[in-house]
Copies of this chain bind each other. A is one copy, B any other.
Amino acid sequence: MTGTPVWSVDPRTGKQREQVAAEATAREVDRAVRAAHAARGALADRTTRIAFLRAAADLLDGSAARVVETADAETALGPGRLTGELARTTYQLRAVADAVADGAYLDVRIDRADPALTPPRPELRRYKVPLGVVAVYAASNFPLAFSVPGGDTASALGAGCPVVVKAHPDHPATSELCASLLRRAAAESGLPADVVSVVHGFDAGLELIRHPLVTAAGFTGSIRGGRALFDAAAARPVPIPFHGELGSLNPVVVTPAAAAERAEEIGAGLAGSVTLGVGQFCVKPGLVLVPEGADGDRLTGALTKALGESGPGVLLDHRMRENFITGVGERAVLPGVGAPVRPGSGGAHTVGAGYLTIAARGLLDGPRTYGALLEECFGPVTVVVRYADQGEAADVLDLLPGNLTATLQLSAAECAGPDPTGAAELIGQVTRLAGRVVVNGWPTGVAVAPAQHHGGPYPAATSHSTSVGGTAIERWLRPVAYQSVPDPLLPPELREANPLGLPRLVTGGPAA
């Protein structure tokens, strides 16, 4: 391999494991994109795509031991979590295959000609076509489900778009392994392997977003990195859609009635959600509104106990560990901020979980002073904001930027009906803030399901799309309408006899 080496690193020791690739030069990025573009015609056949997605899932499942071992060695996420994540990833590939087979995603609409209208209406037949080559920017924190074989790749391939993935530097060996399995699945399904490929390197990522043949991008990562790529996508001579998931505080509101009813359960549940995956989830609850008073104290007591008992964890890389320790430190020194369980360094290569506290009144009096508390801090920490009344809680929510999720902990009485508890009002308020609203659960754990929405107002996402669930495929398609096109010349999806048996919305009288 020539070029800047790409190393797989063990975050448990900080040591380089092996060189697995080299950073792609501009010329190599160009070659990957051109090869993907040349392969797009082969992806046009729906049946072949379905077989490919299922073959990819089977190959990944068949290589589970090796995939999990490789991912664990360079992410330290543990075999249990990674086995679950692989199952989620292959479930997702199969779910996209099922969605492609169903065909509703093509949103076929047919309007019969109506000569009686003024002006007369011509026949119109509309469906959606794939955009072309999609750039996928892999996330650090899900080396499978939001990386090379993840939701962006699966949905783009399902839509009929070839994919070039910019691999995340935290798991290059896993990326190479998964890419080789996906490419093998393509070849076994009669497709060119180049329908999916991987490039490494920061500069390669910039080359990719600027390449004229790239038609759209999916991204999961930081606000800074995501915004830079979003800006580059918008500044192109031909701008392209950039579907980025950037950052989220994922607020939680615990009502006084809920705290009275379930203080200990909520405190323990919160600790579990904050420490899941060593706090490296996009949907980690980062700001929790807890009422002042004895019930709230019981809740924070349970949180203190659970977090105090949690062992140290290994973050994905040493830069993240440093950022976490710095970020916690910057927040902990702010006036009025307490640290009942001080998160921070837990050893040479580990961190300890914890939480910070502040009074809502203080936050509201100095929102600029406390700006950092309103920003995501990646890792096992959350900020507990103690509020005096519902007005204060609402005012704190008003300070927040957009979020992937918002969670409410409610009492049984509040769940039973909207009046006069104000719970429905709270639902309305957090709906304005987030893409998913959770009641009496925790936001961590994003189910792969048709009705899922994983997105939200900026900076949670740069578009109004979702990167998880049944509608993720919509990101990679554009509509085309055919006016008065003779039946034999129509794509099979739109022909009168409906040879592919697609669901469709027909308007107007019987066919002429």
Chain A residues with CB under 8 Å of chain B are 84, 87, 104, 107, 109-111, 118-119, 121-122, 124-126, 129, 131, 230-231, 234-235, 238-239, 241, 401-402, 410, 414-418, 423-424, 427, 431, 434-441, 445, 447, 449-453, 455, 457-459, 462-464, 466, 469-471, 477-486, 488-491, 505, 507
CA distance A119 to B435 in the complex (A): 21
CA distance A111 to B453 in the complex (A): 12
CA distance A107 to B241 in the complex (A): 22
Q: Which of B230, B466, B469, B481 contacts A437 (CB 8 A)?
A: B481
Kindly list chain B residues whose C-beta atoms are within 8 Å of the C-beta of A427.
482, 485, 489-491
A447 touches B122 (CB 8 A): yes
Question: Whole-angstrom distance from the CB of A20 to the nearest CB of chain B?
Answer: 31
CA distance A131 to B464 in the complex (A): 10
A435 touches B481 (CB 8 A): yes
A416 touches B238 (CB 8 A): no
Kindly list chain B residues whose C-beta atoms are within 8 Å of the C-beta of A439.
482-486, 489
B507 touches A436 (CB 8 A): no
Which 4 pairs across A and B sit closest by C-beta, in order of nearness? Answer: A234-B234, A109-B451, A453-B481, A464-B478
Kindly list chain B residues whose C-beta atoms are within 8 Å of the C-beta of A451.
109-111, 124-126, 481, 505, 507
Question: Whole-angstrom distance from the CB of A101 to the nearest CB of chain B?
Answer: 15
The residue of chain B having its C-beta at the shortest distance from the C-beta of A430 within the complex is B480
Kindly list chain B residues whose C-beta atoms are within 8 Å of the C-beta of A231.
234-235
Stoichiometry (number of copies): 2
Kindly list chain B residues whose C-beta atoms are within 8 Å of the C-beta of A418.
488-489
Q: Which of A401, A410, A416, A453 has the most chain B CB atoms closer than 10 A to its own CB?
A: A453
Q: List 28 A-B contacts (CB under 8 A).
A: A84-B118, A104-B505, A109-B450, A109-B471, A110-B451, A111-B449, A122-B447, A124-B452, A126-B451, A230-B239, A238-B458, A239-B462, A414-B489, A417-B488, A418-B488, A427-B482, A427-B489, A427-B491, A434-B480, A436-B482, A437-B483, A439-B484, A449-B507, A453-B481, A457-B478, A464-B477, A464-B478, A466-B479
A452 touches B424 (CB 8 A): no
Question: Whole-angstrom distance from the CB of A34 to the nearest CB of chain B?
Answer: 16
| 13 other A-B residue contacts (CB within 8 Å) besides A124-B449, A125-B451, A431-B480 | A111-B447, A111-B451, A119-B447, A231-B234, A238-B402, A238-B458, A434-B480, A435-B481, A436-B481, A437-B483, A439-B485, A441-B484, A455-B478
A437 touches B119 (CB 8 A): no
Kindly list chain B residues whose C-beta atoms are within 8 Å of the C-beta of A449.
111, 121, 124, 507
The residue of chain B having its C-beta at the shortest distance from the C-beta of A123 within the complex is B451
Kindly list chain B residues whose C-beta atoms are within 8 Å of the C-beta of A469.
481
Given A418-B489, A489-B415, verify A119-B241 contact (CB < 8 Å): no
Kindly list chain B residues whose C-beta atoms are within 8 Å of the C-beta of A463.
241
Q: Which of B401, B416, B436 contacts A483 (CB 8 A)?
A: B436
The residue of chain B having its C-beta at the shortest distance from the C-beta of A416 within the complex is B488
The residue of chain B having its C-beta at the shortest distance from the C-beta of A465 within the complex is B479
CA distance A435 to B129 in the complex (A): 10
Given A437-B480, A452-B124, verify A431-B238 contact (CB < 8 Å): no
Kindly list chain B residues whose C-beta atoms are within 8 Å of the C-beta of A464.
131, 241, 477-479
Kindly list chain B residues whose C-beta atoms are within 8 Å of the C-beta of A447.
111, 119, 121-122, 124, 483
A440 touches B507 (CB 8 A): no
Q: Which of B87, B109, B235, B488 contacts A470 (CB 8 A)?
A: B109
Kindly list chain B residues whose C-beta atoms are within 8 Å of the C-beta of A491.
427, 431
Kindly list chain B residues whose C-beta atoms are within 8 Å of the C-beta of A452.
111, 124, 126, 481
CA distance A464 to B476 in the complex (A): 10
A450 touches B507 (CB 8 A): yes
CA distance A435 to B459 in the complex (A): 30
Kindly list chain B residues whose C-beta atoms are within 8 Å of the C-beta of A480.
431, 434-437, 453
Given A239-B458, A470-B109, verify A445-B486 contact (CB < 8 Å): no
The residue of chain B having its C-beta at the shortest distance from the C-beta of A463 within the complex is B241
